[in-house]
Structures are given as structure tokens and as C-alpha cells.
Structure 1
Amino acid sequence: MKPKRIILIRHAESIGNVDMAVYSKIPDYALELTEKGREQARRAGKAVSAVIGTTRVKAYVSPWKRTRQTFQLMSESLKERLVDSSEDPLLREQDWGYFSSVEELLRINREREAYGQFYYRVPRGESGADVYQRMCLFLDSLNRDFTRPEFPDNALIVTHGMALRVFLCRFFKYSVEYFETIDNPDNGEIFVIEQNSFGHYVLRTPLRFQPYRDKFEMAV
């Protein structure tokens, strides 16, 4: 039986969101939350708790450190309603290469914005289309889980900016052109997908749109 809700969240603020220079010396997957990010994660946990009420939830988490830390702090509010959780590498963020300088990241982002986020492949990394293929595999796995009679009323997915947008693109079958206009979610921002009275999933959280970004903002 399909869950009543699918709740997605972008990880809370990490050190990479406030200082691009860390990407030149710390692996992307190892970046930790800031103190502000830890507070964001706790608030997100309370927000999700309010959404699900007394119902139960199963969580799927990107294995990167900032997403795991976000989930761990969120789970303080979920307590016994959290029936299960699992890490899934398919939920990791778009690969931006490794140990890149600020100058290199800025150059890559300029090319990416000019070419288009979905099709531009980061050197030594991935394109948005590559992330889309991963999300197709993740959704196949998710749908298999949904067929289990014991699956709870809610599925929680803790992931990253680009990965979250691509998930929505695949789930709701958005066009690539439409995807390109969707703005990146904020750190700790929650998106609620919920069944309506006809049993169809609808996005309850409004999207924000920005046809063109005139400043650097990594989606990770």
C-alpha cells in the first residue's frame, strides 16, 4: 500500500555552504553541518513531526555526512514513530569532482549556467542527467518497498539540492525545460508530497522559480 506522504528534505547548512574553499581540501561526502545547520536540522525534525502527527515513518538517507547528521538530529523529534531507516548511495548529490579550487568551481558554474544544469557534465563529475538516472533506480526500489503491507504512512527522504529537484522532476514527469526554471531548495527546506482524495500524489509545497541565476550557488 502506498504511503500517504513522501517527505523530502535538503540537508541543513554545511561548512561547504558557507565557505567554498573547503572543497579544495575536504571530500564533498565528508563535509559536516555548521552550528546553524544543526539548529536547522532540529527545526526540520519538529516540522516533520508536526506533519506526520501520530503516524509512523520510514526514512531513506544519503550516506554523505551532512545528510546523516541532518537525519540524526531530525530523529530526535520523530522518536518511536521512526520505524526504520536506511542509507542509499543513490540519494547522494551530484558529483562535482574532487579537491577543486574556488576558481575552478566558479568557472565550472559559469559554464554550467550557460549550457544548462541538466545536461552539463562537471569535469570528473556528473551531469543533472546522470543524477536523473540514479533517481530512476531509487524510485524503482522505493516503489518495491511501497508494495509491502507493513509500509508506514510516511516515507522520509533526506538528500541534497540537485538530487531533490531531480527526484521531483522524475516523480512528476517534469520536462527538462521546466526543471531548469526550478530554484534550488534552501538548507533544511521540506517538501511534502501527499495523496489527494483521488489517491493521486500532489506536491503540497510551492516551488520557487528562477529562470537565471546571476550568482554562484552550488546545488550541493
Structure 2
Amino acid sequence: MSAPRQIIMIRHGQSAANVDQTIYNRLPDYRIPLTELGVAQAREAGEQVRRQLDGQKVRVYVSPYLRAYQTLEALNLGDLVETIMEEPRLREQDWANFQNPSEIADQKELRNAYGHFFYRFREGESGSDVYDRVSSFMETLYRHWARPDYAPNTLLVTHGLTMRLFCMRWFHWSVEYFESLNNPGNADIRTLLKDGPRYTLDTAFEQWTAAVPTNTVLDAPDHIW
């Protein structure tokens, strides 16, 4: 098989940090669990994923974070899963080790002013760093798809920013367009559907400001000649 008929991406359900950001300074980010609501969100998303699979097998790539694994578990895909592969390149953007919420809040303000793609958190990553590892992951996907026994569907259980950057890399969106996009909600699904030799995105990401995929920094409203 040369490529799957669909690439399904899902963001993890609501995590404990989504409701209490102080948890970051006492628990490593990768060990933060889902809330009860997050589990329920993932269960509901699982119903949609099963409908999309329509009885066909899927190969799963999951972020090593606890909230991603718990989301996958709650999807309850059963024997539809051909293989589960832990994929560290699908992890959340690294912000710091044990995070100080007030310091992170200050850095978020700086990131909003500087730009989400290029701003690098102290002791962490920039969006462009995540883009690079997502690009590396895609090369692995292409090699896997070349195998004749690959499942007809691919599922990525990951994080909001990672989903946006995967699509940015896949569809060759500009940085300026990426900057206009909002994260998907908890347990939201986006699917790349095979349409002949190409893929289309089933649902666009919401935007907080107007932009099109071909916009560049020259089109930025605050561009100074």
C-alpha cells in the first residue's frame, strides 16, 4: 500500500493542567493525566473515529505523554487497531521542566507579541523546533507506507500545536497563515482524506485573524517597509 485512505489526528482530552495550571510546578508535563471530563470527551471522539474507520484496520502513533495514552485508551478502538507505536516526535511543545506558572504566563505574553512559530520558551522549544521534528516524523511515515502490509488508515494521538504544525508541513502553509490559526479543542479530530494523489483537510482550523495559506510576512498588517 502506498498511502492510507485517511490520516486521522486527535488532540488529547481535557487534562488536569487545562483546569489547573499550577500542576505544572509539581508534576512533569508528560505525567499529567486526563480529567474525568477528558476521558468522557475521548470516549465520545472514539465513536466518531470508529465510524470513520468503518471496520477497517488502523495503525496508531501516540505521543508518549500520559494524557495521550489515556485518550487512546478511552477511544476504545479494540481490534480495529493493527499496531500501536509510541512516537516521541508527536509530543507536546516543551516549555520547561517543572514550570513556574507566573513565569510561563509572562513568556506567553512575549510569545503573543513575538509570534508562536519562532518564539522559544526558556528551557524549552519554539514552534519551529516542533515543526522540524514533525518533518522528521513524516519521513518515517513515508517509509512505513511503502510496506505492502500497512493498514489502510493512520491515527495520530497527539497535541493541538503538533496537529497544526503537522498540517502546516503537509500542506506547505506559510508561517503567517500558521500564526492565524487556533488550536483545536480537547479531543477534537481533524482528518486528512485521500483524494486521488492528494489529501484534503476535512475541517479547517478556526482562525483568530484573517489569513490565507499563501500569506507571507510581507502580508503582515504590522509590516514596516
Q: What is the aligned partner in structure 2 of residue 165 from structure 1?
A: 164
The answer to whether residue 125 in structure 2 is matched with residue 129 in structure 1 is no
Query: What SS does the corresponding residue of 1:120 show, helix, strand or coil?
Result: coil
Q: What is the aligned partner in structure 1 of residue 78 from structure 2?
A: 79
The alpha-carbon deviation at position 178 of structure 1 amounts to 0.4
Q: Which moved more, 1:85-94 or 1:96-105?
A: 96-105
The alpha-carbon deviation at position 22 of structure 1 amounts to 0.5
For residues 35 and 80 of structure 2, the distance between their equivalents in structure 1, rounded to whole angstroms, comes to: 27
Q: What is the aligned partner in structure 2 of residue 53 from structure 1?
A: 54
Deviations 1:190-220 (A, max 9, x none): 0011011x331110112210139xxxxxxxx
Q: What is the aligned partner in structure 1 of residue 198 from structure 2?
A: 200
Q: What is the aligned partner in structure 2 of residue 35 from structure 1?
A: 36
Deviations 1:25-77 (A, max 9, x none): 11111100000000011111111001110111100000011001101111x2x
Q: What is the aligned partner in structure 2 of residue 209 from structure 1?
A: 207
Alignment of 1:55-204 (within 5 A): 55-74=56-75, 76=76, 78-196=77-195, 198-204=196-202
CA contact (8 A) 2:164 2:178 kept: yes
Q: Which moved more, 1:62-71 or 1:98-107?
A: 98-107
The alpha-carbon deviation at position 4 of structure 1 amounts to 0.2
For residues 101 and 30 of structure 1, the distance between their equivalents in structure 2, rounded to whole angstroms, comes to: 17
Residue type at the aligned position of 1:206: A
For residues 85 and 125 of structure 2, the distance between their equivalents in structure 1, rounded to whole angstroms, comes to: 24
Instruction: Give the length in aligned residue pairs.
Output: 209
Task: Extract unaligned runs of 5+ from structure 1.
Answer: 213-220
Deviations 1:154-201 (A, max 9, x none): 1000000111111111011100000000111100000011011x3311
Give the RMSD, CA atoms, in angstroms.
1.1
Task: Extract unaligned runs of 5+ from structure 2.
Answer: 211-225
Deviations 1:97-139 (A, max 9, x none): 0222221111010000000000000000000000011001100
Q: What is the aligned partner in structure 2 of residue 215 from structure 1?
A: none
User: Matched residues, percent identical?
Assistant: 41
Residue type at the aligned position of 2:64: P
For residues 170 and 62 of structure 2, the distance between their equivalents in structure 1, rounded to whole angstroms, comes to: 18
CA contact (8 A) 2:183 2:205 kept: no
The alpha-carbon deviation at position 91 of structure 1 amounts to 0.5
For residues 4 and 91 of structure 2, the distance between their equivalents in structure 1, rounded to whole angstroms, comes to: 23
Give the TM-score normalised by the residue count of structure 1.
Answer: 0.93
For residues 92 and 204 of structure 1, the distance between their equivalents in structure 2, rounded to whole angstroms, comes to: 23
Query: What SS does the corresponding residue of 1:80 show, helix, strand or coil?
Result: helix
For residues 54 and 67 of structure 1, the distance between their equivalents in structure 2, rounded to whole angstroms, comes to: 23
For residues 205 and 120 of structure 2, the distance between their equivalents in structure 1, rounded to whole angstroms, comes to: 25
For residues 168 and 18 of structure 1, the distance between their equivalents in structure 2, rounded to whole angstroms, comes to: 27
Bigger radius of gyration:
2
Residue type at the aligned position of 1:39: A
Residue type at the aligned position of 1:200: R
